[in-house]
Amino acid sequence: MFLTCEGTFGLVPATMDYNGEARPGDFHAGYQEIEGINLGYLQINGTQMFALAQVLSDLFKDIPRTTISKKMETLKIKSRRCDLKELRTLKAINSVPTRAVKCSLISKADLEALCTSCKSLSPRR
C-alpha cells in the first residue's frame, strides 16, 4: 500500500549543548511517496510525522474533512501540534502554506491506519 520512495530533504541544524552533543528533539525533514503522492515529513525522535493539513489537502482531497475527523476519532488517532521550528521546516519543504500559523502532525503508523480505513471512501486512482 505504501510506496517507499524516500528522500531526505536535509538535516535541520541540531541544537548543541555545551559539550557538543545534539539535544533531544532534533529532527530532519524529507519526502515520502504515499499512495502516489509525495508528502513531506519530519523525522522526530525516530518517528516519521506528517503534516495533517497536507494529508487532508493532497491525500484525502476527495473525502470531506468531517468524515476524516470521524475516522480519526474511531481509530483513536491523536495529532500533535508542531512547534515553531517544526512549522518553519514544514513551510520550507512546502508541506504547509507559508501563511500557516499552526500545524498538526500525525505519525506514519496512524497515517497508514487512516489510509486503510478510508480506502473504500475515495475513488480509485
At 99-108, the pLDDT tens digits run: 999 999 999 9
Distances (CA, A) of 26 to 1, 8, 13, 47, 89: 29, 15, 8, 12, 12
Write the pLDDT tens digit of every residue in 62-99.
999 999 999 999 999 999 999 999 999 999 999 999 99
Identify which has the larger pLDDT, 5 or 113: 113
In a domain, residue 20? The reply is: no
55 falls within a domain = yes
Q: Is residue 75 part of a domain?
A: yes
Residue type, 65: R
**CATH number of the domain where residue 76 is located:** 3.10.260.20
In a domain, 66, yes or no: yes
7 found inside a domain: no
Split into its structural domains, the chain has a count of 1
Which residue range is the domain that position 50 belongs to?
28-118
* pLDDT value for 119: 82
Task: Note the pTM of the prediction, 2 decimals.
Answer: 0.76
